[in-house]
Amino acid sequence: MTSAGAEVLAAANLGEARQLLEQKVDVIVTDIHLGRESGVTLAREVSHRLPVVLVFAITGHTSFEEAFALGRAGVEAILKKPLTVAELVVAMDEVEPPNAEQLDRTVRQMVGSKTLNEVLDRVRRSMVAEALARTDQTKAHAAAELGISRQHLQKLLERGQA
């Protein structure tokens, strides 16, 4: 995959894979059998924590029950070993990107029933309130901490957006 321009991170077990999830990850390729652990567990965790990350499972053999569990866990495809980079690229190309409605539904699941604008507004208000509190309500210092101009901060406050 590195020859295709991708940065590849490797994990030897489920614990290492969980640590790698703290980084920006777009695609996960996991073996179904991770020693005593399961790729189904990883797929399930990814679908809950990072629902826009694509997960592919690879295996030498799988049972119907495992395939069903992987599907329910959000795996895009189950690929047979040995797997070539070309086969993985083809499988990734076959995945349809989510449309705006699917992304909105995913965001709502992650943050509740609020729209993205409502969430952003709440985050903006919180950030401004924290910056003002840390700078003893000094708008110039709070604006500098937020990386915006004092005038922009003033407009946000006047509009009730902060």
Q: List, for residues 14-63, the tens digit of each pLDDT value.
A: 888 888 888 888 888 998 888 788 888 999 888 877 777 889 999 888 88
pLDDT-derived band of residue 9, with 50, 70 and 90 as boundaries? confident
Which residue pairs from 91-99 have beta carbons closer than 8 angstroms and sit at least 24 positions apart in sequence? 91/56, 92/27, 92/54, 92/56, 95/54, 98/52
Say yes or no to pLDDT of 100 above 80: no
Say yes or no to pLDDT of 65 above 80: yes
| Amino acid 142: pLDDT | 87
List, in order, residues 6 or more apart from 73 with CB less than 8 Å away.
40, 43, 44, 47, 55
pTM of the shown model: 0.59
Most confident region among 5-9, 69-73, 110-114, 158-162 by mean pLDDT: 69-73
* Rounded mean pLDDT, 134-145: 86
pLDDT-derived band of residue 6, with 50, 70 and 90 as boundaries? confident
Say yes or no to pLDDT of 151 above 80: yes
Mean pLDDT (the chain) is 83
| Amino acid 133: pLDDT | 85
| Amino acid 85: pLDDT | 86
* Rounded mean pLDDT, 101-109: 71
Give 133 or 109, the one with higher predicted confidence. Answer: 133
For the chain, what are the domain ranges? 2-97, 105-158
Give 111 or 75, the one with higher predicted confidence. Answer: 75
* Rounded mean pLDDT, 83-104: 81
Third-level CATH fold of 2-97: Rossmann fold (3.40.50)
